[in-house]
Amino acid sequence: MVSARDAARRLHPGTIALRIVIKAPQNIAGLVALSAAASRGGWLVMAGVAALVLVGAGLVTWLRWRSFTYRIADGELVIADGILHRNRRSIPFGRIQDVSIDQKLLARLFGLARVRIETGGGEADEASLDSVSLAEAARLRAVLRGRDAPVAEAVEQAPVRDTVFAMDGRRVLTMGLFGFSLVWVGVLFAAINQVGDLIGFDRDIWRDWAGMARREAMALATPLFALLAAVAALVIGAISGVARTFFIEHGFRLEREGDRLRRVRGLTTRTEVVVSLRRIQLALIERGMVSGRLGWSSLRLQTLGGSDDAGGRQQVAPFARDEEVTRVLAAAGYPPFDPLPLRPVAFGHVVRAALLRGGVPLVGVAIACWFLPLAGLALPLVAIPVVSALLARRRHRYAIVGTTLQVMRGVLSQRAWIVPLSNIQSVSVTRSPLQRLLGIATVRVDTAGAKGIGRPDISDLAVEDAYSLARALLRNG
């Protein structure tokens, strides 16, 4: 641990230039508005107003940089900021759950990085040091993680790193093809609508062209035309999925570093996250509707400190084969997922799911038949939720395997949880009115750091089995 007090430090001086560049679009918009207001006074007045705005923005940026300080005290990180109203925060090392480093595109050009400090007390970052040099970022992470070394020597002690999982360009490209998305098509048209006036885009001409194209298309409409439109949409969606995946997952590498896992990824925004093995609460294996059938899976680890993910999980193998997932699990100290010992939930799961999913469509078809007899042709579609309910019970299985609780569920896309019994914080048995009628119950399992949906709950067990499982989880945990 660090015993000597560290002198107060400021962020890297390059932070001033970086922030000026980042805020340049806002400043330019303000300059345009003020210049338009001062245009009646002539060019000298406009130039004076522009210079005043630029100097003022630069001065405020410099004052904010100068007022922000941080230092390493005895067992805590002390941060002070504020120009007029000063704030001082002290973060004990014992509360720090994770220290991550990321570099956005502009920060990489300046050779700077952001250090994000997470604690177990909240979902957001407790503190962020934006921006420091790469060497200072490594020093801070080493000290805040509690490595037993003097402050000046913390960076020099580089532990041995073993690569556990990595993705090359071909793997990232393959993953992107499964990330099909048409979101960027909408973004493109929205951008055209917003910047049309700036580039001289005449919406009336566009509307006339669209009307003419529509009339021609109606005259020439054929199944081939519809097929070409669908192919174009698929191509655009595939390209957007590949581009998004490439920017996020480029250079993905997971390494074992002592008792920690270190993940690096990103093209424009380079992120480096370190996960302590003792803070991992559970493992989640996910298989997509299409990619899962082709043997691809993803692995997330839920940590005590949380993450940017809505469920508080860190992605450690976004697109991997089963043997690669097993290798990453072993590096994290977890056993492989074994579906053979798992047992299904009660048959009441089928009845409840069929009533909830098929009851409303059945009532809707019955009402429609009252007014339109031909609506009865849609009656066979009601069987789809029933078949889905049968498959859901077959896929929803659970068991205590060794020292872990293993749960799986999902029909089209599947999820599998591995939860060490020692990490289970609470277990509750709940019953809805419909479950009471069917004699079934749900066992809800909670771990530290869990948030959002997607928890390892076991739905629709027989009441006796539910209470027996809850007692076993609490006894072994």
pLDDT score at 201: 47
163 or 110: which carries more pLDDT confidence? Answer: 163
The conformation of residue 5, written as its DSSP 8-state character, comes to P
112 close to 105: Cβ distance less than 8 angstroms: no
Helix (H, G, I), strand (E, B) or coil at 25: helix
Q: How many Cα atoms sit within 13 Å of 313 on the Cβ side?
A: 24
User: 449 in the Ramachandran plot: left (φ > 0), alpha (ψ -120 to 50) or beta?
Assistant: left
pLDDT score at 151: 46
Q: For 373-392, how does the pLDDT look when each residue is reduced to its tens digit (9 = 90+)? A: 777 777 777 777 778 777 88
pLDDT score at 390: 79
What's the predicted TM-score (pTM) here? 0.76
List the CATH code of the domain at 9-145: 2.30.29
Of 65, 140, 149, residue with least CA distance to 96: 140
66 close to 80: Cβ distance less than 8 angstroms: no
| Same fold flag, 9-145 and 343-476 | yes
For residue 281, the one-letter residue type is Q
Give the pLDDT band (50/70/90) at residue 230: confident
pLDDT score at 401: 94
446 close to 424: Cβ distance less than 8 angstroms: yes
Average pLDDT over residues 209-216: 60
Report how many helices (DSSP H) and strands (DSSP E) the chain contains, helices first: 14, 20
Assess whether pLDDT exceeds 60 at residue 194: no
pLDDT score at 184: 57
List the CATH code of the domain at 343-476: 2.30.29
Q: Residues 6 or more apart from 400 whose CB is under 8 A from it?
A: 406, 421, 469, 472, 473, 476
pLDDT score at 36: 61
Which of 89-98, 116-125, 151-160, 442-451 is least confident? 151-160
| Residue at token pair 């054929």 | 222
Average pLDDT over all residues of the chain: 81
Report d(CA 173, CA 315) in Å as an integer.
Answer: 18
277: which 2 tokens?
């093995």
Assess whether pLDDT exceeds 50 at residue 198: no
Domain ranges of the chain: 9-145, 177-248, 343-476
144: which 2 tokens?
């805040």
| Residue at token pair 């089209």 | 412
Give the pLDDT band (50/70/90) at residue 145: confident
For residue 335, the one-letter residue type is P
Which percentage of the chain shows pLDDT scores above 90? 37
Most confident of the following: 33-37, 92-96, 295-299: 295-299
Report d(CA 377, CA 417) in Å as an integer.
Answer: 41
Which of 25-34, 89-98, 121-130 is least confident? 25-34
Helix (H, G, I), strand (E, B) or coil at 369: helix
pLDDT score at 147: 54
pLDDT score at 398: 96
Average pLDDT over residues 352-362: 78
Most confident of the following: 41-50, 114-123, 151-160, 284-293: 284-293
Report d(CA 335, CA 454) in Å as an integer.
Answer: 21
Q: At what angle do helices 183-195 and 223-249 cross, to 10 degrees?
A: 90
Q: Which long-range contacts (CB under 8 A, 24 or more apart) does 425-431 make?
A: 427/470, 427/473, 427/474, 427/477, 428/470, 429/466, 429/467, 429/470, 431/463
Q: For 298-355, how does the pLDDT look when each residue is reduced to its tens digit (9 = 90+)? A: 999 998 765 555 556 889 999 999 999 999 999 999 999 999 999 999 998 888 888 8
Helix (H, G, I), strand (E, B) or coil at 450: coil
Report d(CA 79, CA 188) in Å as an integer.
Answer: 42
Assess whether pLDDT exceeds 70 at residue 197: no
Average pLDDT over residues 97-123: 81
